[in-house]
Structure 1
Amino acid sequence: MPIAHTDGTAPAPGVRMTREQSKANTRERLLDAARRVFASSGFHGASVEEIASAAGFSTGALYSNFDGKEDLFLALMEREIEEHAREIGEAVARRTSVAERAAGGARVWMTMIEREPELLLLFMEFWAYGVRDPHVRPKVAARFAQMRNLLTTLIADSAHEFDLELQIPAEQLAVAIDALADGIARQKLADPAAVPDDLMGRVLSLLLGAASRPAGTGTRSGP
C-alpha cells in the first residue's frame, strides 16, 4: 500500500508502507469510519460490519485492530478528546490574559462545533453510552477526565502566570467550564440563532473573574 503523504502530495513511485505503517493506516481509517457511523447511528445502532464496510475493509481487519465494537468506540473517544483538547490547548496558550484565554478557548470550541456538528453528537453518544452501562461507565468517565485534566492544568497554570488566587479548586472549576461548554454547544446545535457567537466567551470570562482574585487580596476557599 503506498504511503499517504501528510502534505497531500502523491507518494513517490514504488514507495510502500512498512507493516507497522500499514497497520496504523488501517487503524486510522477504521477510526474515521467509526466516527461517521457512531455519530449517525449511535453506539447500539452501529454494527462492526457497517463500520468495516465504510472504511473499505472486512470485519476481519477490524477485529485484528480492535477487540470489538466497544474497544473501537473507546479508542475513538480517546482519539477525539486528545485531538480536540490539544487544539484548544494550543490556542489558549498563545493568549496573554485570562480574559483572552477564555475568549480564545471558547471561540475554538464553538468553531469546532460549527465545523463538525457530528462532533457534539459523538460526545453525547459517548456520555449516553457510559451512563446506560454501569460496567463500562468507569472507562468512559476516565476518557472524559482527559478533558477536565487539561482544563485543570490550564486554569492552574493561568492562575500562577497571572498571579491569581482561585476561590474554588481548579479541578471543580474545570468541571463547571466543561459543563458550560457542553451545554452552550448543545443549544447552538439545536437553535443557532439563540446563541451569539461570543456568548460562551463572555460567560466564561465572568465565571473566571468571579472565581479568582489578585493574589494576596483574599483567602482561597475549598480544600
Structure 2
Amino acid sequence: MKADVNPPPSVLSPRQSQKNATRQRVLEAARESFDTLGYEGTTIREIARKAGVSVGSVFTTFASKGEILSQVMQDRLDRLYGELDRVAPHLRGSTADRLRSMFAIHFAFEAPHVRLFLAHVAAAYDWTLPKTAVPYGRTPRLQEIMRECLAKGVEEGDVDPGLNLQEIVDLLLAAYAWTYHFAITEAADVDARTAIMDRQIGLICEGFRPR
C-alpha cells in the first residue's frame, strides 16, 4: 500500500492567524472610513481606532494610507473586472456603444459607494503616494479592457488605426472620473452620470473615427 504522498494542508501559526485577522479588520475599517470621510479626511489613526488596533499594528501591515486604499479598491474592483471580462466579448454595436455599455456597468457597480470611489480618484492626485499604491488611473486591467475594445474598433473600421489607443484610454478615464464631480456639485445619481458619460463618449468617438 502506497504511503500518502500528498502533503497535509498548511496550518497557519497563531501569530500568522492574528496578523491576517488584523489585516482584515484594518481593511474593513478603512473601507468604512474612506466611504464616509473621503481620502483627505481619513487618517491612519482613525482607521486604527475603528479597527480596534494600534497605529503601529496598521503600519506593520501597510506602508501608507494610500496603500490601504489601494488594497480596499483592488478587492472590490477584481469583482468588477471579472464581470467586464465576462460580458465584453458579448457586447454588440459600434465601439461607442460597447464603451457606453462597459462604463454603465462600472457606474452601476460603484453606485452604492460613490464616496469610496471618489477617494480612489482623489488618491491619484496625492503626490506623496508610494509606488506600491494603485490609485485610479493606474489600474492596468481596466485600461487593458478598454484597449481591447478600441482594438476591435480598429479591426471593424470605426477607430482610426493611426491613433494612439492609450491616449484615447486616458481621455476616457479622465471623462469618467469627471462625471463623479456632478455627484457632489449637483447630486447627480447613477442614471444622470451615465447619461453625461454617454454624451462624452459620443464626442470622444467622433474624434477617433477614420477620416
Larger relative contact order (Cα-Cα within 8 Å, sequence gap ≥ 6): 2
Question: What is the match of residue 72 of structure 1?
Answer: 68
Superposition map of 1:51-70 within 5 A? 51-70=47-66
Question: What is the match of residue 8 of structure 1?
Answer: none
Q: Please provide the CA RMSD for this pair.
A: 3.6
Q: Which runs of 5+ in 1 are unaligned?
A: 1-16, 219-223
Q: CA deviation at 1:37?
A: 1.5
Q: Is the 8 A contact 1:181 1:200 kept in 2?
A: yes
TM-score of the two chains, using structure 2 as the length reference: 0.68
Q: Is the 8 A contact 1:39 1:125 kept in 2?
A: no
Q: CA deviation at 1:50?
A: 2.1
CA distance 1:176–1:121, shift in 2 (3 Å): same
CA distance 1:198–1:212, shift in 2 (3 Å): same
CA distance 1:173–1:121, shift in 2 (3 Å): same
Q: Is the 8 A contact 1:126 1:140 kept in 2?
A: no
Moved more, 48-57 or 153-162: 153-162
Aligned residue pairs total: 194
Identical pairs, percent: 16
Question: What is the match of residue 144 of structure 2?
Answer: 150
Q: Which runs of 5+ in 2 are unaligned?
A: 1-10
Q: Does 1:29 align with 2:16?
A: no
1:29 and 1:59 map into 2 onto residues whose CA distance is: 13
2:18 and 2:52 map into 1 onto residues whose CA distance is: 14
2:61 and 2:47 map into 1 onto residues whose CA distance is: 13
Q: CA deviation at 1:175?
A: 0.8
Superposition map of 1:47-126 within 5 A? 47-76=43-72, 78-79=74-75, 82-97=78-93, 98-126=95-123
Question: What is the match of residue 208 of structure 1?
Answer: 205
TM-score of the two chains, using structure 1 as the length reference: 0.65
Q: Is the 8 A contact 1:184 1:200 kept in 2?
A: yes
